[in-house]
Each structure stands twice: as structure tokens, then as C-alpha cells.
Amino acid sequence: MGNIIWQVFFPYGGFTLEKTNHELMHDRKDRYEIICGVVIAFLAAILAISNLISDRFSGNMMIAENEKASAYSWYTSKSIKQTLVEGQYAIIESLLAAGSVLPEQEESLRSILSDFQAKIEKYNNEKTEILEGSDVVGEENWAQDVDGEMGKIVGAQEWEQTVNRLNHVGDFFDLSALFLEIGLVLGAISLVIDQFFVKKIFFAGMSILGLAGFIIAMAGVYQGFQA
């Protein structure tokens, strides 16, 4: 009778230490997979946000590149105009020096030389402002307006500095993405490995690289808003 009752309540031979250990290992594996999955999802979210912010700064860098190219083209245009005026100035000056001008024309030509000299100085000032920027040259040296307003020019060199800073910011995000992606790979590998000790090693590697990637991304954000 007792044997029958035992078989009814414990048809699989009762609870053994081996079965308990197996259940504990299974529970530990389940907990690990949940924790590792959450960490992987968190790192993937950081990577997505990091890429989004990086794209924004990349767009700003492209705008700065275009503005820099436009400013240097403007500077070149002013240089060409100045060269033409300097050439005309040199011709008239040579004619006057050689005495090849009629006396009654000399005064008129000297007046033209004076106008040319003023234009050359104006082009020099405009070029300096276009190259360095209104804030750098100071209000007393403003020579070029933008839509009728003075002191609004961001210099070609200033745009170049902005491009260099944003390019440096891009390096931060590239390194951050590298660490985060490698961390995600380590996390994925840890989920398919059976040995729990090895799982922990890969999990630690994922956590360290993920944290490093997050810190570098935050440094990139800070540098980006300083650019």
C-alpha cells in the first residue's frame, strides 16, 4: 500500500539532488539571459541614439564645409578684383613716371590713381574681414556688409576651425560606435555559450566596452556642442 501511494505522489522517483542542481542551473541560465538581454537592448539603444546625434553633427560639418568654401570663393573674387585694380594703377603710374601723359591730363590721372589706391585698401580690408571674420578684425575694421548689415561675417578661417572641431567630434562617435558594436557582439556570443564561467567573461567584456562607448559618446556630445 505504501509503495502505491509513493508511486502516485512521486511517479518519477521523488526529488533527487541531481534534479535540484539541474533546476538551479536552469534558473541561473534564465536569469542570466534576461539580464544579458536587457543590457544588450540598452547598449543597442545607446548605439542608435549615438548614431543619430553623430548624423546631426555630420550635417553641421557639411554646412560648415560649404560655408568655408563659399567664404574662400568670396575671398578669391575680391583678390581678383584687387589684382585688376592694381594692374590699372601700375599702368597709369608707369605712364606718369615716363612722362608719357599730356600735362593737362596729369591731374585727372592722379585723381584716378587716388581712387584706385582707395579701392585697393578697401579690397584689402574686405579680404581680411572675409578671411578672419568680423569679430576678429574688430568694429573699427569692418569693411564688408552682409545684406546691408555690417559686422555679420563669419570668416573662412573661423569656418575652417569649426570644420576641424566637428571632424574631431566625429572621431569620438566613430570610436564609441566601435566599442558599442564589439560589446554587442560579445553579448550575443555569451548567450550561445554553455560554460557559465565563459559567459561571465564575455558579459564583463560587453559591459566594459559598452561603458567605454557610452562615456566616449558623451564626450563627443560635449565636444560637439562646444564646436
What is the pTM (predicted TM-score) of this model? 0.73
Mean per-residue pLDDT, 151-164: 93
Question: Is 26 within a domain?
Answer: no
Positive or negative, the Cα torsion across 28, 32, 34, 35? positive
pLDDT attached to residue 20:
66
Question: Is 8 within a domain?
Answer: no
Average predicted confidence (pLDDT) for the chain: 86
Question: Is 59 within a domain?
Answer: yes
Distance CA 224, CA 63 (A): 14
State how far Cα 194 lies from the chain centre: 41
Question: Is 27 within a domain?
Answer: no
Mean per-residue pLDDT, 142-149: 88
Question: Is 16 within a domain?
Answer: no
Question: Is 5 within a domain?
Answer: no
Residue 100 banded pLDDT, cuts 50, 70, 90: confident
| pLDDT tens digits, one per residue of 38-71 | 999 999 999 999 999 999 999 999 999 999 999 9
Mean per-residue pLDDT, 200-226: 92
Q: 218 exposed, middle or buried (CB, 10 Å; 0-12, 13-18, 19+)?
A: middle
Distance CA 209, CA 43 (A): 10
Structural domain including 215 reads 38-226
pLDDT attached to residue 23:
66
> Helix or strand or coil: residue 165?
helix
Residue 213 banded pLDDT, cuts 50, 70, 90: very high
Smallest CA-to-CA distance from 191 within 199, 182, 179 is with 199
- Residues whose CB falls within 8 Å of the CB of residue 128, separated by 6 or more in sequence, listed in order: 137, 141, 143
Q: How many structural domains are present in the chain?
A: 1
Question: Is 22 within a domain?
Answer: no
Mean per-residue pLDDT, 181-189: 94
